[in-house]
Copies of this chain bind each other. A is one copy, B any other.
Amino acid sequence: MKALRLESFLPYRLSVLANQVSTQLAAVYAERFDLTIPEWRVMAVLGEVSDISADFVCDKTRMDRVTVSRAVARLLAKRHILRRFCADDRRRSRLALSAGGRRVYQQIVPLARRYENALSAGLDPADRANLDRLLSLLQARA
């Protein structure tokens, strides 16, 4: 039986690339803004959609329930986000960026975009469209 060539094994390639990218991107905001990866992800979701439950954040980010719960707790302590509870279902929280949290978010977004641009600088527009499509296909399978 032929050995598995790790270099060209798709799950492995995705994993190595994604880890490198996540780590590099985290370096952009971790120290300067004192945020962990889960914390930033929660903020990124809340920057897009407000008044959502922790569960929705889980769905959207594919992060674990526990990870989200703890990231939310830390963001509350830092006053980057606000939490109310739904009137009609008091199990459910409604999370949103605080004014201060939004200011942090707005500082990070351009840095994140800049990183993304640098990352994909070698790709022409057709490549980008293709990459998008391929990732969507894989995502749908996975």
* Chain A residues close to B by CB (< 8 Å): 1, 3-6, 8-22, 24-25, 41, 44-45, 47-48, 60-62, 106, 109-110, 112-113, 115-116, 118-123, 127, 130-132, 134-135, 137-142
Contacts and interface: CB of A to CB of B under 8 A. Distances in A.
A3 B71 CA distance: 20
**Which DSSP category, helix, strand, loop or mixed, fits chain A's interface?**
helix
Nearest to A120: B10
A8 B132 contact: yes
Contacts of A24: 142
A18 B20 contact: no
B142 A4 contact: no
A1 B108 CA distance: 11
Contact of A10 (B5, B13, B119): B119
A13 B44 CA distance: 13
Nearest to A22: B15
Contacts of A4: 44, 47-48, 109, 112-113
A16 to B, nearest CB: 5
A45 B6 contact: yes
